[in-house]
Structure 1
Amino acid sequence: MRAVIAGAGAVGASVARELHAHGHEVVVFEIRPDAARKADVGGAKLVLGDACDLALLERCGAMEADVLVAATGDDRANLVCSLLARSEFGVGRTVARVNNPLNDWLFDESWGVDVAVSTPSIMTALVEEAVETGDLVRLLRLEAGGTALSEFRVPAEHWLAGRRVGTVSWPQDAPLVAVVRDGAPRHATADEVLEAGDELFFLAAAAAETALRRLLVGEDRAQARPGAGSSSAAGRRPSSSPGAGALTDQASQSPRA
């Protein structure tokens, strides 16, 4: 696999080292000379320059890349890199770092982003997953935000306890993919009888998430906590086309990578 990484800071350099150690061909771009001098990218190729420079990307083989990782500390740069990789070079897979969770709604397919990774959102989801019972927690957004992996822990005396999976009218586009009981995964077959304490994992399309939440937690709690486990901006996502809305500037105050 050929990978292009924008940003040789702590995140980009770590990804570069791991990918190269796994036998992949990796090119890392870093626009800051001081950061480039300090960067430890292992055996990956390090290029001093702007990953948003079309000519530079082409010279360094972006046309043959299988994946681009936009890992700078600037959300603007990560969006532009992703869009260029998809629209100009036809890169098959783009992964972009989200520095400010308020910008999360921008990182979707209209900007060429396949997978958006937001560390604050992931940490929030993991904390909620560890302590919440009886609420639907979004753990991970997949495929440009169109699908999310969500978890629901069945509380005591919940109506699901004692019900067979096949007797529940699950929302369309929100399949139950696994049940974890006492730390052991189980197939979510139609005959599986659910118990209190079970952890249910769903792959839910964005359009089906609200219906799934209403089914599991009830109308009142669903309205009180839309999009649990995600950033607040994701629950009120505006139209996300290039140039739409305001990109929150907090991320640009941090280092570029």
Structure 2
Amino acid sequence: MRAIVCGAGRVGYGIARTLAREGNAVTVVDWSAELIEKVTTDLDVRGVVGHGSHPDVLERAGAGEADLIVAVTYSDETNMVACQVAHSLFETPMKIARVRAQNYLDPAWSDLFNTGNLPIDVVISPELEVGRAILQRVETPGAFNTAVFSGGRVQLLGLRLDEHSPVAGSTTEQLMELFPDLRLAVVGVQREKTLFIPEMTDPLLAGDDVYVVTESKQVRRILDIFGRDSEKARRVVVIGGGNIGLYVARALERAGGVKVRLIERDKAQAEAAADKLKRTVVLYGDALDTKLLKEAGVQDAELVVCVTNDDKVNMLSAVMSKREGAERTLSLINERTFEGLRKPLGIDVLIDPRAATVSTILQHIRRGRITGLQSLGGGQAEAVEGIALKTSPLVGKSIDALDLPDGVALGAVVREGEVILPCDEGRVRENDRVLLFCNKALIPKVEHLFRVSLDYF
């Protein structure tokens, strides 16, 4: 596949890196010669210096032969115009744009992004993607990672084992013997810096990050068995009143039964947040002020969500909140070098907005009938859900003995609302949704399992 990525910032770099590693021909466009030099030095990609929406720049980038354009510059308008130019002048088949301003995404203007107006196939809003990721963590407070598949019927949970975990030292085989009716599949384990797919006889050790696939109705029980069960947060403090903070606070208001307080250090933004929120108490001030944190009630909060635009403020306010008595903390980070500080600082969950955005974009880029995707383990692995078409090598194979490549594990099969796990009997049928967990390097092989052959047409 030939792809153009407009924007060499964090998201653009992540998309270009992923596509290049999978053997695609990638050209990155950015007005910054410095960023282009970095991306072409680090990655096996071609770089073009220039404005991503200018026709001559896109022509130099090879838009006439490109299969895909992903516009993720810092300017919404540049991203939208780049897609329009690619469509009108170069007939680029697939066009994806990052749009951050919520005004463009208002349902009142739902017809804006279509072929007759702005021909953008997929519009990605980082704030909405991150907001949804945060709300998923709120729903499953005992997990450090969670992803929903098949319309909410299946969940993938990331569970951290400590020395107090009831299952530490047990194998998956022993778990299934102890709880015969337990519906789960252990698909991955990250031990120190290595992520691998365990055998049924491999012990799960204290310190492991364990990835489990289960039916959504069994989530609470699995959290309890793994010693990670926690009550859903009823008192939440949100630090940061930008788009993400507002999205989370509004969603919690709609959910009901949650007492929300929000801290914002910019006076105008705090006033705007107070106008837009109905039942949230908005406090104006610095979240690094202990007195203000206490006024917001972090000492009684089950969850503190730190989503300012400053990584250091997010991490420090999370640490301070935990010190004052907050039960759990979630911090937004943009700089990956900070990921290693999560455990030493005692922060429960870190969310990288770039990872959330990249996962969503990759879901639409992947070849075949991919319906869901989640990047895991710092990008070492992916959970990929796809539809098994008539020509898929999976169709007709026994579910409990699929011949999958080494480094690929079956999470679940969903058929007409029924969730089938690897321990169940049966065979994969045409149009089944199949959830696979795989090491990053094996993505091309997984794509092949869902790819449409010419015979299908």
- Give the structure-1-normalised TM-score: 0.62
Provide the C-alpha distance between the structure 1 equivalents of 2:265 and 2:318, rounded to a whole number of angstroms. Answer: 16
Report 1 or 2 for greater relative contact order, CA contacts < 8 Å, sequence distance ≥ 6: 1
Q: Are positions 1:121 and 2:349 aligned together?
A: no
Task: Tell me the amino acid that sits aligned with residue 10 of structure 1.
Answer: N
Deviation at residue 35 of structure 1 after TM alignment:
1.6
Q: Are positions 1:91 and 2:326 aligned together?
A: yes
- Alignment partner of 1:217 out of 422, 445, 451: 445
Aligned residues of 2:235 and 2:258 also touching (Cα < 8 A): yes
What does residue 283 of structure 2 align with? 47
Aligned residues of 1:151 and 1:199 also touching (Cα < 8 A): no
Q: Are positions 1:2 and 2:230 aligned together?
A: no
Query: Which residues of 2 match residues 189-208 of structure 1 at below 5 A?
Result: 189-195=423-429, 198-202=432-436
Query: Which residues of 2 match residues 163-182 of structure 1 at below 5 A?
Result: 163-168=397-402, 176-180=410-414
Structure 1, residues 89-127: CA drift from partner, whole Å, max 9, x if none? 3433323333x3645745744444433344443233223
Change beyond 3 A, Cα 1:82–1:74: same
Q: Say which one has the larger Rg.
A: 2
Provide the C-alpha distance between the structure 1 equivalents of 2:443 and 2:250, rounded to a whole number of angstroms. Answer: 44
Q: Are positions 1:150 and 2:383 aligned together?
A: yes
Deviation at residue 15 of structure 1 after TM alignment:
1.8
Provide the C-alpha distance between the structure 2 equivalents of 1:180 and 1:73, rounded to a whole number of angstroms. Answer: 39
Aligned residues of 2:362 and 2:373 also touching (Cα < 8 A): no
Deviation at residue 140 of structure 1 after TM alignment:
5.5
Provide the C-alpha distance between the structure 2 equivalents of 1:29 and 1:91, rounded to a whole number of angstroms. Answer: 15
Partner SS state of residue 324, structure 2: coil
Structure 1, residues 59-88: CA drift from partner, whole Å, max 9, x if none? 4321110001111111221122222333x0
Gaps of 5+ in 1: 222-257
Deviation at residue 43 of structure 1 after TM alignment:
1.9
Provide the C-alpha distance between the structure 1 equivalents of 2:344 and 2:389, rounded to a whole number of angstroms. Answer: 39
Change beyond 3 A, Cα 1:67–1:32: same
Task: Tell me the amino acid that sits aligned with residue 434 of structure 2.
Answer: L
Provide the C-alpha distance between the structure 1 equivalents of 2:336 and 2:369, rounded to a whole number of angstroms. Answer: 23
- Alignment partner of 1:29 out of 253, 258, 263: 263
Structure 1, residues 185-206: CA drift from partner, whole Å, max 9, x if none? 532253232256644325x6xx
Change beyond 3 A, Cα 1:214–1:17: closer
Partner SS state of residue 76, structure 1: helix
Provide the C-alpha distance between the structure 1 equivalents of 2:425 and 2:375, rounded to a whole number of angstroms. Answer: 27
Structure 1, residues 222-253: CA drift from partner, whole Å, max 9, x if none? xxxxxxxxxxxxxxxxxxxxxxxxxxxxxxxx
Give me the CA root mean square deviation: 4.1
What does residue 224 of structure 1 align with? none
Provide the C-alpha distance between the structure 1 equivalents of 2:320 and 2:369, rounded to a whole number of angstroms. Answer: 39
Q: Are positions 1:12 and 2:245 aligned together?
A: yes
Task: Tell me the amino acid that sits aligned with residue 264 of structure 2.
Answer: E
User: How many residue pairs get matched?
Assistant: 208
Gaps of 5+ in 2: 1-233, 449-457
Deviation at residue 55 of structure 1 after TM alignment:
3.2
- Alignment partner of 1:81 out of 317, 320, 324: 317
What does residue 187 of structure 1 align with? 420
Query: Which residues of 2 match residues 228-239 of structure 1 at below 5 A?
Result: none
Alignment identity in percent?
23
Aligned residues of 1:101 and 1:121 also touching (Cα < 8 A): no
Partner SS state of residue 5, structure 1: strand
Aligned residues of 1:5 and 1:28 also touching (Cα < 8 A): yes
Change beyond 3 A, Cα 1:19–1:215: closer
Deviation at residue 48 of structure 1 after TM alignment:
1.5
Provide the C-alpha distance between the structure 2 equivalents of 1:4 and 1:118, rounded to a whole number of angstroms. Answer: 19
Q: Are positions 1:62 and 2:290 aligned together?
A: no
Provide the C-alpha distance between the structure 1 equivalents of 2:362 and 2:431, rounded to a whole number of angstroms. Answer: 15
Provide the C-alpha distance between the structure 1 equivalents of 2:241 and 2:339, rounded to a whole number of angstroms. Answer: 25
